[in-house]
Structure 1
Amino acid sequence: MTGTFTRFSPELGLVDYFNLLYSVVPAETDELVKETYRLRYQVYCIENEFEPPESSHQMETDEFDDNSVHSIIKYNKSGQSLGSVRMILPNQDDYTRSFPIQKICGHSIFTDRKLFSIYKPIEISRFCLSKELRSKAKPCKHSCIKLASSSAPFSSSLLNQCGPILGLIRGLIQMSSENHVTHWFAIMEPSLIRLLAKLSIYFKPTGSLINYHGMRQPCYIELSELLRRVYSEQPLVWEVLTNKGQFDVNLTNCDERFSGYNLNKISRY
């Protein structure tokens, strides 16, 4: 889609501008998967030094990649990849050894037998955006960008700031739709949790902060609940995340039976 920034219609909405600025690409080929590894190397080994930069191929990988799916966010004007996200699927042989979070957090929700037997949780992992690559992607400065709703809590500058993050969340929703996922686990920086909350994406903190590449908060969310909340509070954001409902698979308006498993009843530490 390189070179599509020629004309804008004032009738376009947030999702249309997002789709002009960015593309969310499932990593469905070996080369695209390797690209996610290179992006992770850039973010985790070079920019933040979370992992040692030992790979001669400049790719960051681990033992969970064999049971994962990945997505990439690209900036359309240049075709530059800005970041990627990994979704780790449950281990079919031993659900208690599915995710990295199970190794570092002892909260019962992350190994709950009933949850794994009835539903399909995953862990969000390697949620990364490169500062260096984003700085090379020139932000859109078109003054003609006006959102359809004057009350929308977004400006073109905010779209440039939050667009890549929304893109990675869209990638997770698309991968969840394709893999019949119901719940997300994650261990996140508190600042990212707060930023997502401003977009009506509310993760539920679970247990205490953990020192894991800095202080991180274990958390979870039921996907249908996430989508219903965003749809209710910020429908423009819901359109971006689901591409106007394309990846929703009726989760926003699902009935109460889908939410019958009360995670709040799970015992604490």
Structure 2
Amino acid sequence: MDELAGDFQRYFEIVSAVTPALRREVFRLRYQVYAQELGWEQEAQFPDGEETDPNDGRSAFCLLRHRPSQRYIGCVRLVMAEPEDSQAPFPFEVAAQVPAAELATRYGANWRALAGEISRVAVISDFRRRTGERGAAVTDVDDDSQSTRPERRGFPHIAVGLYLGAAVMGTLRGLERVFALMEPKLARRLRAYGIVFDKIGEAVEHHGLRAPYCLEGGGFGANLSPQLGGLLEIIQGDLARLGHSRPD
């Protein structure tokens, strides 16, 4: 196991949120990040302290746990096709105003059935990089953290780990591709590690400038940089072992 994978596994764990209790952890973490820390959502809209939206009913989720503290510090969801409405759009289609006809031409008439969308990626402020960048829901961590040096080596890969976790959930479910609405600089960072999201539309204002991207599922693992190969194996093992069914 390479150093990066070893450091990540020592301090972090990907947890598949397959139980109602774990899904509530996801929603509470999202409330903390999106409502309390960033102000993107109104706290009053979620009196139970759990941030949810209608797409959660067709989604799978995973959490990132910090082993030393046993805290859940990050989360991500994978939105899948609406089983009772094959024409129901994914969130990125609405936010980025991507024409349905354009997507059908590119991916086929029934493309949604074998697609997913990575969304609602969030990391609590303690693990986001520096005060000047805490207006983003997920980023790297401050090098001046009180954590140990080996622990800090894993911090810049928190976002990478969450995106890998969502992509693995997609491949384990047999999806052909996953989409995401993200900042171009994050797409470039992921590409540097071999997670190649292709831009499929123009950037729009959505809590910052974001563009729609697509990650083809067939060979993304083969494109990973050597240092991420071990991390992918860890995440695949965690999610395959724990399972990841649709919400009840």
TM-score, with structure 1 as normaliser: 0.73
In percent, how many aligned pairs have the same letter? 25
Cα distance per residue 1:158-207 (max 9 Å; x no partner): 42222x22321232133223322220111101221122122222211112
- The offset of 1:46, in angstroms, is 1.5
2:222 is matched with 228
1:126 is matched with 120
CA distance 1:220–1:82, shift in 2 (3 Å): same
2:40 is matched with 50
2:3 is matched with 13
Partner Cα separation in structure 2 for residue 194 and residue 16 of structure 1:
24
Greater relative contact order, per chain length (Cα 8 Å cut-off, separation 6+)? 2
Residue 80 of structure 2 corresponds to residue 72 of structure 1:
no
CA distance 1:169–1:125, shift in 2 (3 Å): same
Q: Is the 8 A contact 1:188 1:216 kept in 2?
A: yes
> In structure 1, which of residues 169, 184, 192 is the aligned counterpart of residue 163 of structure 2?
169
Letter of the 1:80 counterpart: R
Q: Is the 8 A contact 1:174 1:247 kept in 2?
A: no
CA distance 1:16–1:45, shift in 2 (3 Å): same
- Partner of 2:156: helix, strand, or coil? helix
Q: Where do residues 206-225 of structure 1 align in structure 2 (5 Å cutoff)? A: 206-225=200-219
- The offset of 1:247, in angstroms, is 8.0
- The offset of 1:117, in angstroms, is 5.1
Q: Is the 8 A contact 1:25 1:171 kept in 2?
A: no
Q: Where do residues 148-167 of structure 1 align in structure 2 (5 Å cutoff)? A: 157-162=152-157, 164-167=158-161
CA distance 1:139–1:181, shift in 2 (3 Å): farther
Residue 147 of structure 2 corresponds to residue 139 of structure 1:
yes
2:229 is matched with 238
Unmatched 5+ stretches in structure 1: 1-10, 143-155, 250-269
Residue 200 of structure 2 corresponds to residue 200 of structure 1:
no
2:27 is matched with 37
Partner Cα separation in structure 1 for residue 15 and residue 239 of structure 2:
17
Question: 91-100 or 109-118, which moves further after superposition?
Answer: 109-118
Cα distance per residue 1:97-144 (max 9 Å; x no partner): 1411122322445455726359611011101111135689853325xx
Partner Cα separation in structure 1 for residue 112 and residue 206 of structure 2:
30
- The offset of 1:86, in angstroms, is 0.5
1:96 is matched with 87
Residue 17 of structure 2 corresponds to residue 27 of structure 1:
yes
CA distance 1:139–1:110, shift in 2 (3 Å): farther
Q: Is the 8 A contact 1:89 1:98 kept in 2?
A: no
For the pair shown, which has the larger CA radius of gyration, 1 or 2? 1
RMSD of equivalent CA atoms: 2.8
- Partner of 1:88: helix, strand, or coil? strand
Partner Cα separation in structure 2 for residue 62 and residue 16 of structure 1:
36
Residue 180 of structure 2 corresponds to residue 186 of structure 1:
yes
Q: Is the 8 A contact 1:166 1:241 kept in 2?
A: no
Partner Cα separation in structure 1 for residue 102 and residue 156 of structure 2:
33
Q: Is the 8 A contact 2:169 2:239 kept in 1?
A: no
Letter of the 1:27 counterpart: A
2:72 is matched with 81
Number of positions where the alignment pairs a residue of Structure 1 with one of Structure 2: 222
Partner Cα separation in structure 2 for residue 72 and residue 131 of structure 1:
15
Q: Is the 8 A contact 1:73 1:84 kept in 2?
A: yes
